[in-house]
Every structure is written in C-alpha cells, then in structure tokens.
C-alpha cells in the first residue's frame, strides 16, 4: 500500500511541462510489456508515448528546474561543499607526519606495480621470438625482484635520508628503477632495432618509439631540476621539473597502451605460440609482487610510527 501511495504522489509532483521532453511519440501497437519498466509510464505509453534516453546535459539542467527532487539534490550539493571547505580548513592545521610518509610509501607501491605491468605486457605481447629465447629463463623473476627493490629502495630513502644525504637517497631510488627499466624495455628496444624493413611502418613500432622517447625525457627532468635552476623562485607553482616529468610519464603511458593494444590485435599468432598457457603463472607473480611491496611499505610505515613515537617521548 505504501509503495502504491508513493508512486501516485510522485506523479503529482512531476512538472507537466517536462513530459514532452521525456517522452517521444510511439505507436501503441509497438509497445510490449517488456518496454514498460515502471508503473508511472503506463498511462503515457498507452497514450502513444515512450521514455527516451537523455544526455548528461539534460540531467544537469534539472538542477535548475522545479521538480519534487530539486531541494533534495541541492541539500546534498550544499552539504558536500560545506564538508569540502571544512576539510580544507582542517588540512591546514591537522597534518600528520606519519601519514605524510605513509602516502609516499603507497605511491612507491603503485610505481612498483606499474613496473611489473610494463614488464609483463612487453614480455607477453611485444617480444620477438629470438629475444624471448634468450631471456625467458630470468626475465619475469628479475622483473619481480627489481620492482620490489624499486619500492623498497624508495621507501627506505624516504624514511632514512634527508636533504643532507641527497646522493644516497637518489641512489636508493633511481638505481633499482633504472635497472628495472633497462630490463622491462629490452623487448621493445630489441624489436625496434631488429625490425625488418617490411615491418618498420607498423604503427605499434611508432608508439613504442614514442613511449621510449617520452620516458627518457621524463627521466631527465626527474633527475635534474630544470627549468627552476634557470628561474630561481619562479617555478614553485607552475613549470617545475617534476611537473614536466609527470606530463612526460602520462604521454609515455598513453603511447605504451596504444602500442600494446596494437600488438595484442596483430601479433596473436606470435605471442600465443610463445607464451602458451602461462597466464595463470603471470597472475600469480603479479599477486606475489603486490603482496611483497605492500608488506614492505607497511613495515616501513611501522618504523616511521615507532620513530615518531620515540621522538614524542
């Protein structure tokens, strides 16, 4: 009974002027019971109308129209804005040094997973049979090890070293990541340099070249503080090297995705013959990598908590 009353009341509050926008002419003979999802539409369908699909612009415009949900929507939007402003105020005076470190550790876990994913996609879809024969015995285990070392080294550098030991910090972060990249990109580089003339026009190769170029440019800006060295004090908000690094890494990832998709579509016979039924093994390695990196980050976060607790005492 309550459901029936609610449906009848909802009809009373529908703006009559909106009905022609919501409905489109339909011959009653073409209406079937499967096309009537709600009781509300029955009288209009029998009158020769049916619901039509609306775009997001229509639903956005309903924020500024009179209907029975207008107040409800705006109370949620206003409340969300108030909460965001309140959180912004609290963030200025409720900072946690522990979470400062912890969020960095989570970022390093993500980087390690990205490294493993890149290694796997290049090994599975992009690799040439001749290179596969040379590295199949150690490539994936080394990819897992270097991904974990990249995470562990970055976490340790963040926890242990500061500005006074910048060289050691860079060494812990960049050496494992650099070695991981050399290994992960080797199938791509081998394919680029050994492709026969008939395959050099392959669009996938162009995208692979772009991803290598964008990564190398990004690595340069990650390791060297330009252009802020040229314009001291003027690049804090816009134009700093780390921002350029992020842009290059995004472009690298986009090019990599396009290249791998093209390889997936055009090289099925090659990678099916090479990899066989190994997908479950690679999935297990991925789970193992994620577990090791998460445990490492959690261990380092615990060390940070203990250190901060010791300082407070």
Give 238's DSSP letter.
Answer: S
pLDDT at 312: 55
pLDDT at 287: 94
Do 63 and 110 lie in one domain? The reply is no
Q: What value does the mean pLDDT of the chain take?
A: 80
Do 145 and 225 lie in one domain? The reply is yes
Output the CA–CA distances (angstroms, integers) from residue 147 to 162, 168, 179, 203, in the order listed. Answer: 23, 19, 10, 29
Do 216 and 298 lie in one domain? The reply is yes
**39-43, 64-68, 117-121, 149-153: which has the minimum mean pLDDT?**
39-43
Q: Which residue has the higher pLDDT, 170 or 287?
A: 287
pLDDT of 9-34, one tens digit each? 444 444 444 444 444 444 444 444 44
At which of 59, 90, 121 does a domain end?
90
| Mean of pLDDT values over 38-60 | 59
Do 43 and 84 lie in one domain? The reply is yes
- What is the rounded distance in angstroms from the CA atom of residue 262 to the CA atom of residue 217? 24
At which of 60, 90, 120 does a domain end?
90
Does residue 49 register a pLDDT over 90? no
Does residue 180 register a pLDDT over 70? yes
Do 160 and 303 lie in one domain? The reply is yes
- What is the rounded distance in angstroms from the CA atom of residue 279 to the CA atom of residue 282? 5
Do 84 and 129 lie in one domain? The reply is no
Domain count, the chain: 2
pLDDT of 290-310, one tens digit each? 999 999 999 999 988 888 876
pLDDT of 84-105, one tens digit each? 888 877 766 677 788 888 889 9
pLDDT at 29: 44
Do 260 and 196 lie in one domain? The reply is yes
Alpha helices by DSSP H, listed for the chain, are 2-12, 19-22, 42-46, 56-61, 70-91, 97-121, 129-135, 139-160, 166-194, 203-223, 241-266, 268-275, 279-312
Q: Which domain holds residue 265?
A: 97-312
Do 157 and 72 lie in one domain? The reply is no
At which of 90, 115, 147 does a domain end?
90
- Are 143 and 120 a contacting pair, CB within 8 Å? yes
- What is the torsional sign of CA 189, 195, 197, 198? negative
Considering the entire predicted model, what is its pTM? 0.67
Give me the residue label for tokens 């908590």: 305
Do 135 and 271 lie in one domain? The reply is yes
Do 49 and 111 lie in one domain? The reply is no
Kindly report whether the peptide bond that precedes residue 227 is cis, defined as omega within 30 degrees of 0: yes
- What is the rounded distance in angstroms from the CA atom of residue 253 to the CA atom of residue 264? 16
Do 202 and 289 lie in one domain? The reply is yes
- What is the rounded distance in angstroms from the CA atom of residue 46 to the CA atom of residue 53? 19
Share of the chain above pLDDT 90, in %: 37
Do 250 and 183 lie in one domain? The reply is yes
């Amino acid at each position: 009974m309550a459901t029936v009353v609610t449906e009848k009341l909802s009809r009373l509050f529908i703006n009559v002027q909106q009905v022609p926008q919501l409905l489109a002419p339909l011959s009653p003979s073409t209406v079937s019971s499967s096309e009537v999802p709600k009781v509300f539409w029955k009288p209009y369908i029998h009158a020769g109308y049916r619901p039509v699909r609306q775009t997001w612009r229509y639903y956005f415009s309903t924020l500024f129209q009179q209907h029975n949900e207008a107040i409800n929507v705006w109370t949620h939007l206003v409340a969300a804005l108030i909460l965001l402003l309140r959180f912004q105020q609290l963030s200025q005076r409720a900072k946690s040094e522990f979470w400062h470190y912890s969020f960095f550790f989570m970022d390093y876990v993500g980087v390690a997973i990205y490294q493993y994913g890149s290694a796997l996609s290049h090994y599975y879809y992009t690799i040439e049979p001749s290179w596969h024969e040379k590295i199949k015995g150690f490539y994936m285990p080394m990819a897992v090890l270097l991904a974990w070392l990249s995470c562990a080294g970055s976490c340790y550098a963040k926890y242990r070293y500061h500005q006074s030991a910048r060289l050691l910090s860079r060494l812990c972060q960049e050496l494992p990541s650099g070695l991981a990249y050399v290994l992960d990109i080797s199938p791509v580089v081998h394919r680029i340099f050994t492709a026969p003339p008939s395959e050099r026009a392959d669009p996938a190769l162009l995208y692979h070249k772009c991803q290598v170029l964008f990564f190398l440019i990004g690595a340069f800006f990650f390791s060297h503080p330009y252009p802020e060295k040229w314009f001291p004090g003027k690049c804090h908000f816009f134009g700093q090297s780390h921002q350029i690094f992020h842009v290059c890494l995004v472009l690298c990832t986009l090019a990599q995705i396009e290249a791998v998709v093209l390889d997936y579509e055009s090289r099925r016979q090659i990678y099916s013959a090479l990899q066989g039924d190994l997908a479950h093994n690679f999935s297990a390695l991925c789970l193992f990598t994620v577990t090791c990196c998460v445990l490492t980050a959690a261990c380092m976060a615990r060390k940070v908590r203990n250190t901060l607790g010791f300082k407070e005492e």
